[in-house]
Structure formats: structure tokens, C-alpha cells
Amino acid sequence: MKDKYTKRRTCVYNINYHIVWCVKYRKGILTDDIAKELKDILQQTAQDKGFIIHECAVGDRNHVHLFVSAPPKIAPSYIVKMLKGISGRKLFMNHPDIATKLYNGTIWNHSFYIETIGSTSEENIRKYINNQ
């Protein structure tokens, strides 16, 4: 990140999140090819919805770590909803064989972990995600 703060017409902000979610039943379906495609889908979704993914990593082929920045008008739950919903739908469309490994047509677990990141711990979160 070049500048710690993002400046907009009506506000200046530095809002960052560490987000983690898992594949349903922790199935190891996120192979290298699927993980690469997933990262592209997540980046495109973030761009379309107005927030930024700084770091993205797939761990143990069954969960996703993200370092995300967003303006204050975008709710954290909306970010997760968009990322999980759009990526799940596109992965199922592009890889119908995934459905045979999961039940009920759901790729992601319904829950997620989210944490706000202060500027002092930002570098530690980046290192953690990059080492997944």
C-alpha cells in the first residue's frame, strides 16, 4: 500500500480487515488451478464492488485468507457476502465436478472470521497471509 490513508471527497480512511472462510466440510478442493482462478474471481469482484484486496492466499486447499481495505460505506458483512457468493457460483459453473465432492450445492461454509486490522499489525497480517 503506497499511502496509509485513502482520501475521498467526503472522508479520509484507513479501514482494513483480515477475513477467513473455509470450504464446506473443510474438503481440500482448492487445487492450485482452482485457487488461481478463485483469486482472479475475488480480485474482479472486489474491483466491481468498490473495495481492494491487498493479499489473498489459499491455505491447506480448504480455506481462504484475505487482507481487504474498504471505504466506510461498505459493510464488512457485505464484502464477505459478495466474495463468497460470487466466487462460489462461478467456481461451480466453471468446475461442475466440485459439486460431486460437496453436498447441497454449497462450496463455502456459512460462517467466516473477520478482524479489523490496525496500522501497527498490518505488516504482520500481510506476512501471515503470504506464508499460507
Q: Which amino acids are annotated catalytic?
A: 128
- Residue 7: CB partners within 8 Å, gap ≥ 6? none
CA 115 to CA 109: how far, in whole Å? 18
Name the nearest CA neighbour of 52 among 3, 108, 113, 124.
Answer: 3
Question: What is each CA distance from 79 to 97, 109, 119, 129, in whole angstroms?
Answer: 27, 16, 20, 18
